[in-house]
Every structure is written in C-alpha cells, then in structure tokens.
Amino acid sequence: MKQSGIWGMGSYTEGRVVTNTELEKTLDTSDEWIRTRTGIERRVFAEDDVNTSDMAYYSSIEALEEAGLDASDLDLILVATVTPDYPFPSVSSLLQERLGANKAAAMDIGAACAGFIYGLSTADQFIKTGMYEHVLIVGAEKLSKATDMSDRNTAVLFGDGAGAAVVGPTSENRGFFSFELGSDGSGAMHIRQDPQIIMNGREVFKFAVRQMGESSINVLEKAGLTKDDVDFLVPHQANIRIMEAARERLELPKEKMAATVQYYGNTSSSSIPIALVEELKNGKINDGDLVVMVGFGSGLVWGATAMRWGR
C-alpha cells in the first residue's frame, strides 16, 4: 500500500484581535488569571462577513499553492468543523464549488478539536488503498458565533481560524507511520453546544491531561518508535498546562513543542494545522523530522499521529 504524507499547508488567522485586557472590561476576570490558567494572551475573532467556509477557502488556496497542485487535481475534500456556515449544505461542498474542484468528493467531519487528526487518518486510508491520490483536509472554525461572551469560563478560551493540508503519496520513509483515534461518549456532556458552548472545565482538563500523553505514547509504540525518536510535538492548542503535560510525558524540551495558544486561543479543529504552519515558517520543523500531533475534543474524542515530515 502507498505511504501518504503532507504535501502543502496553509492557514487563515485574520480578523479582530481581542486581548485579555479587553475581556476584563466585560467579564469578572483578569489578564493574569487568564494567562496563568490557560496561557492565552489574545485571540482572533473573524469579521462578521467572514464565515467558516471563507476561512477554509483562504487556507486551502495557500495549501494547494505550496503543494504545487490545482484544485482540479483534488479527489476528496474533508472539512473538520463544529461551526459550519449552515447545518447543511456542508462546508466541504461550499468549498469544493468555490475552489473549482470539480472532480472531488466532499464531506465534513464532526470530531471537534480532534477533527483535523480524524481527517488526516481518513485521507491516509483513501490514499493507502489507491482509491484517491490527492486529498485536501481543512480544520475551520468560527467559534466566536457559538461562544457565550458573558460566561467567563468559556469566553476567554476560544478564537476563530482555519488551517489546511494537502495529503498525497510520499516515499516509503516519509509521511504517516501510525494513528490512534478514540471516543468516550460517557463524557459527551462535559463540553457541548446548547445553543452556545457549555463546558465542565475540571472534567475536560482531567481527561485531556491523561489522554494527550497516553495517545502520544501509543502512536509511537504502534510505529515501533520511542519518545527518544521524537523531534517535535504539535498538540491541540487548548490550554498551555494541558500541552505541557503532553510535552513532559514525551520528555521533550520546551523548544520542541508548538505553542500558538497565546496568540489565537483554542480554535478547535484548526488549532493543530495553524500551529503546524506557524512552526514551519519559524523553521522549527524540517524535512526528515519525526513529528507527533495529538488532539482531544468534545465527544469526548481524541486522535494522534506519528509522521516523518517531507515527501
């Protein structure tokens, strides 16, 4: 079976910057409280006339350009989102039409903050079996429209953005080596939208600290690797304390972990690809590096992958 990996990436993080200081004016909170408990210093809210499909489109254009492909080359479009433009049609179908990806199938993935990993795994299976050659995976969220800005427990956490990846065949020693996907529906009510985001922060924190580390170790073991082989960790950017717990489980130095939560907050399915794009631009991920990505989210779901960067 074919090996698959990431050919190109793009992101969209434009909009109105909302600082902790601004939130102090309307919430019973402080900049210090938010920073020490979450690591977040600011977040970006998309403009009113920019929807999830718009952010998905802008990030996809960048990813296709970096991959050296046209939209007509795509066989499948997967959009991970919990904040679609409409309940239906899917964001992926809106994106397919706007890109002009006329031969591509399209579907959305509702795995919350683990959605991008679920998308990568799905793309990997289609390419491994030979059914498809080029798959576009996008994590895109407009969480600002689902956030109760009067609830200090959630209003300080979330932001908007999108990240995209084009996945295609790679050489044998590059690309994805292993995946882990999972779900524990007994915790489904711990974070939900009804009609805005409601979260039991204590329970989600306990789950995430445990699962992020365990999943990171599990994908390494599945690939016949150890934590000594890891060059870089890209965790879901939810909370710096959760992220640090995963990093410490892998015994990595701080400079070997992606950290963008301070700039964008928790952007759900888009947080991992946005962080990947940022760290690639910063030169922290290079060809041949062993990269672990891991995320968790509402469901409660989780996903992780171990891959060697490059084509």
For 206-236, what is each residue's pLDDT tens digit? 999 999 999 999 999 999 999 999 999 999 9
Co-location of 158 and 208 in the same domain: no
Residue carrying structure tokens 């779900």: 183
pLDDT given at position 185: 98
Q: Mark whether 236 is an active-site residue.
A: yes
d(CA 10, CA 59): 5
Co-location of 160 and 292 in the same domain: no
Could you tell me the CATH number of the domain that includes residue 92?
A: 3.40.47.10
Active-site residue identified among 134, 190, 218, 236? 236
DSSP 26: T
Flag whether pLDDT at 176 surpasses 90: yes
Active-site residue identified among 20, 51, 113, 134? 113
Co-location of 181 and 272 in the same domain: yes
Of 169, 190, 208, the residue that ends a domain is 169
Q: Mark whether 190 is an active-site residue.
A: no
Q: What's the domain range around 191?
A: 175-309
Co-location of 139 and 246 in the same domain: no
Active-site residue identified among 20, 218, 239, 266? 266
Pinpoint the alpha helices (H) of the chain. Answer: 20-24, 31-38, 52-67, 91-99, 115-128, 152-155, 201-222, 240-249, 261-264, 271-281
Flag whether pLDDT at 8 surpasses 90: yes
d(CA 6, CA 246): 23
Assign 27 a pLDDT band (cuts: 50, 70, 90): very high
Handedness of CA 31, 37, 40, 43 (dihedral sign): negative
What number is the average pLDDT over the span 90-114? 98
Count of domains in the chain? 2
pLDDT given at position 1: 86
Q: Mark whether 134 is an active-site residue.
A: no
